[in-house]
A and B are shown apart, each in its own frame.
Chain A
Amino acid sequence: MDVPVLKQGPFLIATIQAALNDADLNKLRRSLVEQVGRHRSRGVIVDVTSLDVLDSFAARTLRDIAHMTGFRGAETVIVGIHPDLAFAMVQLGLTLEGVATALDLEEGLAYLNERTRRLGATRPLPSTRVVAGRPAMAPAPRPGWPLAVARPPHAILREEPRDRRRAKPAPEGADPDTRRDLS
């Protein structure tokens, strides 16, 4: 079972949908480490809200993902650990040492935005632009969602120069995200 990975600006969001076996988790690890390079991502969010069990293997794989993407220059944050899983993990003696965690997707994005800004890795976050024909991949806007700026689809492909001037000035050539690829 493949874990869908969504590119959201400079971040990747992997949403674990259901019970994953060890092979699926290994595949996710490989895929995220590779995609960090392909998309030049600054951060990765792994959303485990739907995970039924977070056992020693899953915890180790999440740690591996965080450390491996860290070696590639992207910070990983794990979000959505259910209270019951947190309790079971503590009983079992599992830790996610050295791995950032956040309550949910919203907090995770806020954390990564803050971190990438503080590390001087600021690239202005593009407003949400969806590649035409694939709007279903975009997450639904929600309160506080920092990236979701509702824009009519027809505005997506026409990049107005004055929009550019109004945006925060970007360092020379530092904005590859105007071409959005949600694959």
Chain B
Amino acid sequence: MTYPEHVPVRSDADVVIARQRGREIASLLGFSASDLALIATAISELARNIVLYAGSGEIEIGHVEQSERRGIEIVARDQGPGIRNIPQAMRDGFSTSGGLGLGLPGVKRLMDEFEIQSRPGRGTMVTVRRWTR
């Protein structure tokens, strides 16, 4: 299998495909059943954000290795409107789409590492990692 794998995200059906692929890949990487649920849930939330805020984008699922550690890396990428105020978007309970999704703080808690880059009008890229243990 070649990593990373790209899953286009354009509709709610793609949200399901993305999280299922993520679960399969995480399983191959040796994550526990409990971790698989966390990873699939994080992908589901990230992919749904793409559908909701940007309309379309992609989820990239790959593996990372870093001095003895192995893990999964998920990149959610879109060319949507971007996030004007990232600190605000990272606050619990903040959502601009009427309470749909708990947004990014929840995803951050599900994973070990979380990075976000966004430029208003250009798009958003969220990178999350989780290590096997």
B16 contacts A21, C-beta separation under 8 Å: yes
User: Which residues does chain A contribute within 8 Å of B45, judged by CB atoms?
Assistant: 55-56, 92
With an 8 A cutoff between CB atoms, is A19 at the interface? yes
With an 8 A cutoff between CB atoms, is B33 at the interface? yes
- Most interface-central of B19, B23, B40, B48 (chain A CB within 10 A): B40
A85 contacts B109, C-beta separation under 8 Å: no
Complex: how many Å from CA A93 to CA B16?
20
Complex: how many Å from CA A87 to CA B20?
18
Complex: how many Å from CA A93 to CA B90?
13
A23 contacts B40, C-beta separation under 8 Å: no
Contact of A84 among B36, B48, B102 (CB under 8 A): B36
Closest B residue to A87 by beta carbon equals B34
A84 contacts B44, C-beta separation under 8 Å: no
A91 contacts B109, C-beta separation under 8 Å: yes
User: Which residues does chain B contribute within 8 Å of A52, judged by CB atoms?
Assistant: 19-20, 23, 37, 40
Complex: how many Å from CA A56 to CA B43?
12
Q: For chain B residues 31-53, which have a beta carbon within 8 Å of chain A?
A: 33-34, 36-38, 40-41, 44-45, 48
Given A56-B100, A84-B33, A92-B16 contact (CB < 8 Å): no
A93 contacts B102, C-beta separation under 8 Å: yes
B110 contacts A92, C-beta separation under 8 Å: yes
Complex: how many Å from CA A53 to CA B34?
11
A53 contacts B41, C-beta separation under 8 Å: yes
B12 contacts A55, C-beta separation under 8 Å: no
Given A19-B16, A92-B45, A82-B107 contact (CB < 8 Å): no
Complex: how many Å from CA A172 to CA B33?
53
The minimal Cβ–Cβ distance linking A49 to chain B, given in whole angstroms, is: 14
With an 8 A cutoff between CB atoms, is B15 at the interface? yes
Question: What does the 1/0 interface line of A42-56 toward B look like (CB < 8 Å)?
Answer: 000000000011111
Q: For chain A residues 15-38, which have a beta carbon within 8 Å of chain B?
A: 19-23
Contact of B102 among A85, A87, A92 (CB under 8 A): A92
* A residues adjacent to B (C-beta < 8 A): 19-23, 52-57, 60, 82-85, 87-89, 91-94
Sample (23) of A-B pairs whose CB atoms are under 8 Å apart: A19-B19, A21-B16, A23-B12, A23-B13, A53-B19, A53-B40, A53-B41, A55-B44, A56-B102, A56-B106, A57-B100, A57-B101, A84-B33, A84-B38, A85-B37, A88-B37, A88-B38, A91-B38, A91-B41, A91-B110, A92-B102, A94-B102, A94-B106
